[in-house]
Amino acid sequence: MRAYHVAAPGARAALQTLPRPEPAAGEILVRIEACGLNFADLLMLDGTYQETPEPPFTLGMEVAGTVEAAGPGVTAPAPGTRVAVFCGHGGLAEYGCFPAARAVALPDAMDAVTAAAFQVAYGTSHVALAHRARLAPGERLLVLGAAGGVGLTAVEIGRAMGAEVIACARGAEKLEVARRAGAHHLIPADPERLRAEVRALGGADVVYDPVGGELFEAAFRACRPEARLLPIGFASGEVPRIKANHLLVKNLTVMGVYWGGYMAFRPEVVRESLAELMRWHGEGRLAPHVSHVLPLDRVEEGLALLRERRSTGKVVIRPD
């Protein structure tokens, strides 16, 4: 099978031919039909992601496909079942073996590309907004990086939860994508304009930030008293420094959000969140946005789209 693989420590990831794996106890073998790319894939290539595996490993965090075989002890999902799996790595290949406990059976109405773009982005935003921030109807939600993979889902979910959504993104095209996803207000990604315009609207109750850097600082200063700030990631490359005295003065709360971490200590949070999100998708309340679908031999082009921030929503790779 073909796989986008890191063969050894210090080796460059490349498309290689590898033996097809066999499922071990507790695992399923999946014929992969689509793999969603994430910013964390770039960090993993650089060796800076918090859960970068030791080489050799295959890149790709979330997949959709069909179960081909089950390892010892696995009774479900059965071979032939269409599933999505948050695998952490191993997804940029034609086949992969993954823990059966991480597989989610797909509804007939959800195609593989949509499913591969769904779990991390929607799961992160839903857990952040519903579970961590307890976003309430009528509150004002500020989303940074609002046309990106996770940011766009935060706009959509925030609107579905009854919030007044402010979208901040680079350029008119990306702001238009955020508007179509449900944003009520659009602000270009300029720190001075962001701070001034959010304050003019009355300030933010919740800040969803996958960007970091200067935009976080501007959003921080545009918060209302008792606002909640959600650091999701640092696409700008700059981890912001948070001034505790400013938290004190406005009674602000900063809540870190790492969706994958819940798999280890509270997996029921992820299961319940995904179940609700699947219901919402089935009811037509969510419309996943995939700007690029590319074959496996163009995976480096897909990663470059993320690195250079030229994509909107998700980029998905189809091994077939």
- Written as one string, the DSSP assignment of 100-117 is GGGEEEPPTT--HHHHHT
Separation of alpha carbons 49 and 41, rounded Å: 8
Q: Quick check: 164 pLDDT over 90?
A: yes
Conformational region of residue 128, where left means phi above 0, alpha means psi within -120 to 50, and beta covers everything else: alpha
At 276 the pLDDT is 94
Which residue shows structure tokens 């969603």? 36
Separation of alpha carbons 118 and 157, rounded Å: 13
Helix and strand totals (H; E) in the chain: 11, 16
CA-nearest of 305, 300, 288 to 64 is 288
Separation of alpha carbons 213 and 315, rounded Å: 24
* Number of Cβ within a 10 Å radius of residue 229: 23
Percentage of the chain lying above the pLDDT 90 cut: 93
At 236 the pLDDT is 92
Reported as type and span, the H/E element at residue 157 is helix 151-160
What average pLDDT score do residues 108-123 get?
95
**pLDDT tens profile 214-262:** 999 999 999 999 999 999 999 999 999 998 998 999 999 999 999 989 9
Rounded mean pLDDT of the chain? 96
Q: In sequence order, which residues have a C-beta less than 8 Å from that of residue 288 and are 6 or more positions away?
A: 114, 117, 118, 121, 122, 153, 281, 313, 314
Conformational region of residue 273, where left means phi above 0, alpha means psi within -120 to 50, and beta covers everything else: alpha
CA distances from 46 to 6, 11, 90, 297, 306 (A): 11, 11, 17, 20, 14
Separation of alpha carbons 263 and 278, rounded Å: 18
Q: Quick check: 6 pLDDT over 90?
A: yes
- Report whether 111 contacts 52 (CB < 8 A): no
Q: In sequence order, which residues have a C-beta less than 8 Å from that of residue 208 and are 6 or more positions away?
A: 125, 128, 129, 141, 142, 143, 144, 151, 154, 158, 230, 232
CA-nearest of 82, 65, 215, 61 to 149 is 61
DSSP annotation of 133 reads S
Could you tell me the pLDDT band of residue 20, with boundaries at 50, 70 and 90? very high
Q: In sequence order, which residues have a C-beta less than 8 Å from that of residue 78 and are 6 or more positions away?
A: 67, 70
What average pLDDT score do residues 137-150 get?
97
Enter the tokens of residue 212.
Answer: 């970091």
Q: Quick check: 123 pLDDT over 90?
A: yes
At 307 the pLDDT is 94
SS3 243: coil
At 320 the pLDDT is 82
- Report whether 33 contacts 22 (CB < 8 A): no
Strand 290-295 to strand 314-318: parallel, antiparallel, or no bridges (unpaired)?
A: parallel
Q: Quick check: 78 pLDDT over 90?
A: yes
Could you tell me the pLDDT band of residue 50, with boundaries at 50, 70 and 90? confident
End-to-end CA distance of the chain: give it in Å, rounded.
11
Q: In sequence order, which residues have a C-beta less than 8 Å from that of residue 270 and are 6 or more positions away?
A: 86, 123, 127, 259, 262, 263
